[in-house]
Amino acid sequence: MVHRRTIILGIGGALTLVGAGTAWRVMNTPRTAYAPWQMTPGTDLDPRLDAFRHAILAPNPHNMQPWLIRLIGTDQAELTCDLTRRLPQTDPFDRQIVIGFGCFIELAAIAASRRGMRMEVEAFPDGTGEPRLDARPVARLRFVAQPGLVADPLAALIRDRRSAKVPFDLARPVPAESLVTLGGAASDLIRLDSTRNETEVRALRALATAAFEREARTPRTLGESIDVLRVGSRDIDANPDGIALTGPLFEALSLLGADRVREGARDPQASSTNNQIEKYRQLFAATPSFVWLTGRGNSRSHQLATGRSYARLNLLATQRGLGLHPVSQALQEYPEMASLFAEARRLCRVEADETLQMLARLGYATSVAPAPRWPLEAKLIRA
């Protein structure tokens, strides 16, 4: 006999759940979406597959995982961008998508070192897509055995790395010597700066909050995030990418159908939008320090180099028990964001010929759950 009851939910108003029997679904968790994090390193005979199994765990914008991988011969591979997985409203020039590819390449190279392989990277071998990417390869990779190569110690941290979208402990400032260690992520092309100064941190928190609200109140940029919301475990297992909403509240909401939830959240003035803005205001307030990456130029090479540095930065932070969380809204190149884009450059003391490529919160966090991933096999293209 079905028992009717009403559960009042914070998002989207009231949802009537029919039947006590639905309670089990509210406790659901995704079954397959996290499996790529559980692979055993070194089990693939082909070292390229081992490297790519690590690389697909790279941080990347909105977790779109735009990479397509074609194996060539016995020692090469070509990376191209799945052009449908870009974010044209918030990333009109594919700058952030290319940074994500840089992260992917760095993790592949780090993992390859554990197999005694050096990974040679030819970036955009057939030329760069400007102002947007096109079907031409992002990189051609060659795996070269190098006897005596020392494995990169960061390889052991790839599966522990997260984007820490959580409040940080304000009672635990980031030690100055940790910031020095993180500076090791910089390269010839990319500079790393950071601040723990209270006045500067306060200004960057306010900037991050204002930029988050600007994006959320702009219908087309909010809509781009809403399109990739994955609501509850079924939706997440079916599409292990985008912005995954987990936990009992979203499992309950998913009973309405993920499409209906997405439609309900599309209004920039909806209570769900207000709730998100408030949640992120609190998150940004719980930030003891910020780091940022700047390049003297904004070529595709600078963007790839930024991704390589950012991946190392994230791993070095992980090694020191620190959480790192990109806050990119103010860095995005669309007209509604222009005034805050200028403010970000001012606060980060970016010079006229430089580009602010990444800005991230840094601090101590409690443990952070992994984000879903498509399995490697879904990203390999044949022939």
Ligand X SMILES: Cc1cc2nc3c(=O)[nH]c(=O)nc-3n(C[C@H](O)[C@H](O)[C@H](O)COP(=O)(O)O)c2cc1C
Residues 182-201 that bind ligand X (CB under 6 A): none
Closest approach of Cβ 16 to ligand X, in Å?
32
Closest approach of Cβ 216 to ligand X, in Å?
12
From 236, 304, 327, 350, residue interacting with ligand X (rule: CB under 6 A): 327
Residue nearer to ligand X on the CB measure, 33 or 256: 33
Among the listed ranges 21-29, 95-103, 176-184, 194-202, the one in contact with ligand X (CB under 6 A) is 95-103
Tokens representing 160 are 């522990």
Among the listed ranges 119-127, 189-197, 292-300, 324-332, the one in contact with ligand X (CB under 6 A) is 324-332
Binding mask of the shown chain, residues 55 to 84, with x at each position contacting ligand X by CB under 6 A: ----xxxxx---------------------
From 163, 246, 289, 294, residue interacting with ligand X (rule: CB under 6 A): 163
Burial of 1 (0-12, 13-18, 19+ CB in 10 A): exposed
Q: How far apart are the first and last CA of the chain?
A: 56
Closest approach of Cβ 239 to ligand X, in Å?
13
Q: What is the C-alpha separation between 220 and 260, in angstroms, rounded?
A: 18
Query: Is residue 36 involved in binding ligand X (CB under 6 A)?
Result: no
Residue nearer to ligand X on the CB measure, 232 or 326: 326
Residue nearer to ligand X on the CB measure, 146 or 282: 282
Q: What is the C-alpha separation between 49 and 45, in angstroms, rounded?
A: 8
What letters, b where the CB count within 10 A reaches 16 and e where it falls short, cover 40-67?
Answer: eeeebeebbbbbbbbbbbbbbbbbbbbb
From 99, 190, 231, 245, residue interacting with ligand X (rule: CB under 6 A): 99
Residue nearer to ligand X on the CB measure, 143 or 280: 280
The single residue listed with the structure tokens 């959480």 is: 323
DSSP collapsed to 3 states, 265-312: CCCCCCHHHHHHHHHHHHHHHCCCEEEEEEECCCCHHHHHHHHHHHHH
Query: Is residue 312 involved in binding ligand X (CB under 6 A)?
Result: no
Residue nearer to ligand X on the CB measure, 96 or 218: 96
Residues 356-375 that bind ligand X (CB under 6 A): 371
Residue nearer to ligand X on the CB measure, 25 or 159: 159
Query: Is residue 105 involved in binding ligand X (CB under 6 A)?
Result: no
Query: Is residue 295 involved in binding ligand X (CB under 6 A)?
Result: no
From 328, 330, 334, 379, residue interacting with ligand X (rule: CB under 6 A): 328
Query: Is residue 355 involved in binding ligand X (CB under 6 A)?
Result: no
Q: What is the C-alpha separation between 158 and 171, in angstroms, rounded?
A: 28
Query: Is residue 236 involved in binding ligand X (CB under 6 A)?
Result: no
Contact residues for ligand X (CB under 6 A)?
Answer: 59-63, 96, 99-100, 103, 162-163, 165, 325-329, 371
